[in-house]
Chains A and B, each alone.
Chain A
């Protein structure tokens, strides 16, 4: 195995306890089933899933690193590259589109001076258009961390951005 990682590159004792709880939901020897949820934890803790983070998760769950890489690169919620502290994920599909998702995306782009998929220079915000999030009746909407923000207007988006600027949420879910 590689050299000892520095402390910040490991889970806290509380997180390790949570990993054990998640593993215990599955039968003996089926700990791989915990992988997707543990990767959520890792992304929340480390900011994004680089090779070091993925290797760490592989060791935690007694998996081959490749088993972790192939999962981390398949699912759209995982970031293998650095992202902003707050990820604004705007739904762009069907019902959200007809209710003005494109207008909302354009407004955020202008407001933050970035394009879809980019991160602000201060590392605070990432804008990402995503596919249907299951809020079609409350369109347009965006997700930030674990929160859904629905019935969006330009004014609401402005207020949200200010709110997150003052009090950035962890960009990622999975941490209690």
Chain B
């Protein structure tokens, strides 16, 4: 069994309630911090822990916190990003639903570290039933003196509230989230100014993912060094992985970073192997936005090294032969799945979710959806593959927010690794309607482009 830091007590009956959570050692980290640590001490522990943003970007949390502007007399805010909407990702929901006090405890610690006295959790509107659970937990925390004025006689005040969105993937982008929290459309802002300087209501703001904030609890409890000792290299600590697709045991797993991908897919402790004894065809390791990997690049890298569940190993080989850890939305495809159809499905998603501000994304995502649908339906031409490549290239990097990149990367990776499957759809339109292409042929990689 690997180390569990977030989900250690997840199976304890009633852990959702304050009393049980407290009995299992809950809120001890807050006691420790408010009684014996300055806010800078808390930031320092998080820096030492090497914790990186768990929402997808993987940016060092301590560094992000240190960018926060602290002008005199201006309130600062901590916002928790619970807008979990990346296809393949359902870990934050699991955490909030099962053990909401862990998030609240993390919010108190992080708000204390940042000197924020009014913090918000922004949750996607579709998770209304989860919002009710968290709202109940917040009320319990107030009733027991962990929120409100002068917490534990420390002089630190904190008000915490949860507020919903109303259906928009884009609000997971931090400036769109801020706009939405201000009661507006979720249109991402131009940066700079960054939220650390001008965020919510033009005040200095930090936005962190649910899992990132929850991880601050064990970091304060055990110390940053102890946390950094878990994991591998710059991928410290544990990570929640949402496993879905053609596997025997879909669900949310906490892994120690550095676990071999092969073990995660095939061991009984985790995914339990491919369903129905089928062969593994492809993997999207970090949510729909990250590049898909073909079967021969999943368990080992192009250099023949074992592929590990870490930021570095999953990205090994760059986009040529690697992918990203992303949000940990781990989608497994067996040999019966069609890459063209799946890519079209994701393109439809991005087209639906584009906020419409930037032309390359607003128009390009729609074009990609149409062209992919045409190929999938057996009406494509060979030029369409080049057209797709051209469109995705012109979206990437040319938009205000990363949704454009997120829409472009899956298309690029599908063509890069599964081009022959696209060609087969075009050359064998009838056949491609009747059956699936199967596994892609293994390629060799002599030269490694960066």
Which residues from chain A sit less than 8 Å from chain B, CB to CB?
25, 27, 30, 32-37, 39-40, 63, 67, 70-71, 74-78, 92-95, 97-98, 130-139, 143, 146-148, 173-174
Contacts and interface: CB of A to CB of B under 8 A. Distances in A.
A77 B126 contact: yes
A94 B288 contact: yes
Contact of A146 (B129, B352, B355): B129
14 contacts: A32-B182, A36-B165, A37-B164, A76-B167, A76-B352, A78-B166, A94-B331, A94-B345, A131-B87, A134-B90, A136-B90, A136-B244, A137-B250, A174-B128
B245 to A, nearest CB: 6
Interface in B148-183: 161, 163-169, 180-183
B89 interface: yes
Nearest to B343: A94
Contacts of B180: 36
The B interface is mostly helix, strand or loop, or mixed, namely mixed
Interface in B242-288: 242-246, 250-252, 288
A93 B87 contact: yes
Interface of B: 75, 84-90, 93, 118, 124-129, 132, 161, 163-169, 180-186, 201, 242-246, 250-252, 288, 329, 331, 333, 337, 341-342, 345-346, 349, 352-353, 355
B88 A94 contact: yes
Contacts of A130: 167
B349 A34 contact: no
Contacts of A75: 125, 165-168, 186
Nearest to B92: A134
Contacts, number: 139
B163 A33 contact: yes
A138 B88 CA distance: 11
Nearest to A174: B128
Contacts of B165: 36, 75
B129 A148 contact: yes
B244 A131 contact: no
Nearest to A93: B87
A136 B329 contact: yes
Given A33-B163, A146-B128, A74 B185 contact: yes
Given A134-B124, A136-B250, A30 B201 contact: yes
B90 A32 contact: no
A27 B182 CA distance: 11
B168 A76 contact: yes
Contact of B349 (A77, A94, A136, A139): A94
Contact of A98 (B86, B168, B333, B353): B333
Task: Give the residue among A34, A67, A133 with the most B Cβ atoms within 10 A.
Answer: A133
Task: Give the residue among A70, A74, A97, A173 with the most B Cβ atoms within 10 A.
Answer: A74
A99 to B, nearest CB: 8
A131 B126 CA distance: 11
B271 to A, nearest CB: 10
A136 B86 CA distance: 10
Contacts of B128: 40, 146, 173-174
Contacts of A76: 166-168, 352
B392 to A, nearest CB: 18
A74 B102 CA distance: 33
A34 B352 CA distance: 25
B331 A97 contact: no
A67 B331 CA distance: 39
B87 A95 contact: yes
A25 B138 CA distance: 13
Given A71-B183, A78-B167, A132-B88, 9 more contacts: A25-B163, A27-B201, A30-B201, A40-B125, A93-B288, A93-B349, A134-B85, A136-B87, A136-B242
